[in-house]
A and B are shown apart, each in its own frame.
Chain A
């Protein structure tokens, strides 16, 4: 379905955070920064070399490495036309 991980989203796609997978201790800071269950996010762009990625959440931009984004489960918005 539309459930995937954050790193799989393309630039311009949106989704909602559903949870995490893998080692929990590393996730805590991401949660404190606002990436909690139900948070809406937008993938803004990828760095020139393809990693890390810029995501917009709660009105601000955060850079996150793909390897960390791969731990974040997201529900991708349907019929997203990339706007």
Chain B
């Protein structure tokens, strides 16, 4: 019997396990305070939260918050991690010395399903009955002593939010950790199993027990859970030595059970709930079994046929409003701070490649992402708030039917909405979707949602090329164009999702069910904590990759250097300073500098790339200057604007460079034909391209991580590029056929 202690540090570890919505996180926070960190389990996109706590005796132990799970028969990545950690299968996370199973005291029966499974693993367990105050209010009385006696494990009542029962819990943890070996639980499923099953299962036990030497108690439960595994998904079947034998044995056990009239497809849930019902009749004295009245009244409004939808739309309107307008002031402030930092570095560092790297590469590149933080913080705040109050489940409930029409489910709504701010948090938010196909489809279309980095491009091009007129005396043509772009983004996203779900992402592995927890008053500390954890993840995740790519892009834009040209410009500058003076000199110098910048960009690797892709984008109406902009956009889409400003020699004047750039674009003529280079048709084609094209390195990185596959990432890039090219082609060539230029 090992307890999985690290031989070097000897720091002991406890793990928190429980169903979703049991307040597990509040218990974790109460035990660890704010001292915790989040990471990912290696190889999977499951969040690993761990922290430290001090026992009354002074010993420091680590606390692991395992993801929410309903069963030890895994149906999602989260559940797989819980299963594997508890059974000691994960090499990176040894099984804990003690498990705290967090149960919602209002909902003991379903919570006991997982709890009794954990009891059977043979690990030391404490049952923590959380939300005790609510249970009392609702008239549910649980006899803790009796429950403790019948299960053979200590039981503690808590109210995580109020920190009630936490001291008692800490003492119980210390007490349990004093015991040298795990205390076996008294709970046993055996009396509730149909006759003859045990003998049959023993045949399977014999085949898998060597794999679970550390957890002999867990073998029976594992064998039981292999029974319904029709598709042989369990890793036990992949064992080289015993896998095939196990397959044959399972098939023979199934047929012999069938002969004896035992339904092997659902033995565990049927028997376990019988055992739980038996347990509950003895420990729960008065189960009221009713939804709290307050929650019910609220639901009558929030999921009402008319009001429910209306309120939902208003709430989403507020979120959108906050993301796009309230966030503006802090975003402006941040961009000024970043500019200042750039100026600071400019002044302090000696001229040369290093200064250019720091100022134009790192500060500018990372700054492009930092600027979005206010939006992302707000977005995460609202998400955490909705989760904490229970409204999130209602939003999913209200919207599921709509999302089902395009083959997604209600839980896809929030990730897609988040993607209007930024694709990265949107893709991260898809983790709540358990079903693989649903989740993949959502991830693949999330980048089609028009993120806020595209907005400056729309604004510029619309201001420059869409006439400021009213149609039908009412509708503003510029506003209408913007609306059209957003509708295109939504339409494309939903259409593509429907297409994928009907073709290669067909079907579901499990029915779409979710819990509707009672409404709760939000707990500000929990909400802010969740927001901060996720924002931190975004910053480190996106930040590190952007940092790296900013350097790459800076290199592409700055190299190769042309020393001959540099000396030529130097001599021209010197000449100017000899012949001119005062204002005229300044003017001349800045003109030369612009020319120099332009030439550097044209002859850089990015410039060559822009030229290289010109033949491909010519049919869309784009020149090679736009080509360079498209290349630069991969770091951040709005770089199209600064690139166009550089290649068209636009100077910042007074209110910034926007006015100058608009004029430059309107007047620019093609050197070959002498016609206007940018027309409303080209602008429209370009905007359509930017709606649909996947041009964001952070998105690539996050999709690779979350799907765990380069294949899906490349597929996403390919399909989006193809879609963008085709749509722009249709717009531009179709427009020309209709007689537009």
Contacts and interface: CB of A to CB of B under 8 A. Distances in A.
A48 B109 contact: no
Nearest to B516: A61
Nearest to A54: B516
A45 B300 CA distance: 9
B514 interface: yes
Interface stretch (B67-75, B441-449, B630-638): B67-75
A59 B142 CA distance: 14
A28 B269 contact: yes
A12 to B, nearest CB: 12
A45 B299 contact: yes
A62 B511 contact: no
Interface in A26-83: 26-34, 36-37, 39, 44-45, 47-52, 54, 56, 58-65, 68
Interface string B102-124: 00101111100100000000000
Given A36-B270, A54-B397, A24 B511 contact: no
A51 B299 contact: no
A80 to B, nearest CB: 16
Given A47-B397, A49-B401, A32 B516 contact: no
A60 B401 contact: no
A29 B513 contact: yes
Interface centre among A32, A59, A62 (most CB of B within 10 A): A59
B240 interface: no
Given A45-B303, A47-B401, A64 B513 contact: yes
Contact of B400 (A26, A44, A52): A52
B265 A51 contact: no
B334 interface: no
Given A47-B397, A56-B291, A61-B291, A68 B110 contact: no
Contacts of B514: 62-63
Contact of A26 (B108, B393, B511, B515): B511
B309 A64 contact: no
A58 B109 contact: yes
Contact of B269 (A26, A32, A65): A32
B91 interface: no
Nearest to B76: A29
A70 B75 CA distance: 22
Interface string B228-239: 101100000000
Contact of A37 (B270, B288, B509): B270
Contacts of B291: 44, 56, 61
A58 B404 contact: no
Given A28-B266, A45-B299, A51-B404, A33 B273 contact: no
A32 B289 contact: no
Given A32-B269, A33-B110, A36-B270, A65 B516 contact: no
A59 B513 contact: no
Given A25-B230, A49-B402, A59 B107 contact: yes
The CB with the most chain B CB atoms within 10 A, among A27, A28, A30, is that of: A28
Nearest to B299: A45
A52 B401 contact: yes
A34 B512 contact: no
A58 B515 contact: no
A18 to B, nearest CB: 13
Interface residues of A, number: 33
B398 interface: yes
Nearest to A56: B291
Given A47-B401, A51-B400, A58-B109, A32 B515 contact: no
Contacts of A63: 393, 396-397, 400, 513-516
Contacts of B228: 24-25, 28
Contacts of A28: 73, 228, 265-266, 269, 510
A68 B404 contact: no
A11 to B, nearest CB: 11
Contacts of B109: 34, 58-59
B193 interface: no
The residue among B71, B75, B305, B401 with the most chain A CB atoms within 10 A of its own CB is B401
A45 B230 CA distance: 34
A34 B113 contact: yes
Contacts of A30: 511, 513
A20 B516 CA distance: 23
B70 A32 contact: yes
Nearest to B310: A48
A64 B270 contact: no
A62 B109 CA distance: 14
Interface string B65-86: 0000011010100000000000
A65 B438 CA distance: 15
A31 B401 contact: no
A81 B507 CA distance: 38
A34 B289 CA distance: 14
Contacts of B106: 59-60
A29 B400 contact: no
Given A28-B228, A47-B397, A48-B305, A62 B515 contact: yes
A32 B269 CA distance: 5
A58 B104 CA distance: 12
A32 B510 contact: no
Contacts of B398: 47-49
A59 B287 contact: yes
B308 interface: yes
B304 A31 contact: no
A42 B594 CA distance: 74
Contacts of A61: 291, 515-518
A31 B265 CA distance: 11
A52 B266 contact: no
B231 to A, nearest CB: 8
A46 to B, nearest CB: 9
12 contacts: A27-B266, A28-B265, A34-B113, A36-B266, A44-B291, A45-B299, A52-B400, A56-B289, A59-B290, A61-B515, A63-B393, A64-B511
Q: Which A-B residue pairs are the 3 nearest by beta carbons?
A: A31-B269, A68-B511, A61-B516
Interface of A: 24-34, 36-37, 39, 44-45, 47-52, 54, 56, 58-65, 68
Interface of B: 70-71, 73, 75, 104, 106-110, 113, 140, 228, 230-231, 265-266, 268-270, 273, 287-291, 299, 303-306, 308-309, 393, 396-398, 400-402, 404, 508-518
Given A47-B398, A49-B401, 6 more contacts: A27-B266, A27-B511, A59-B108, A60-B106, A60-B107, A63-B515
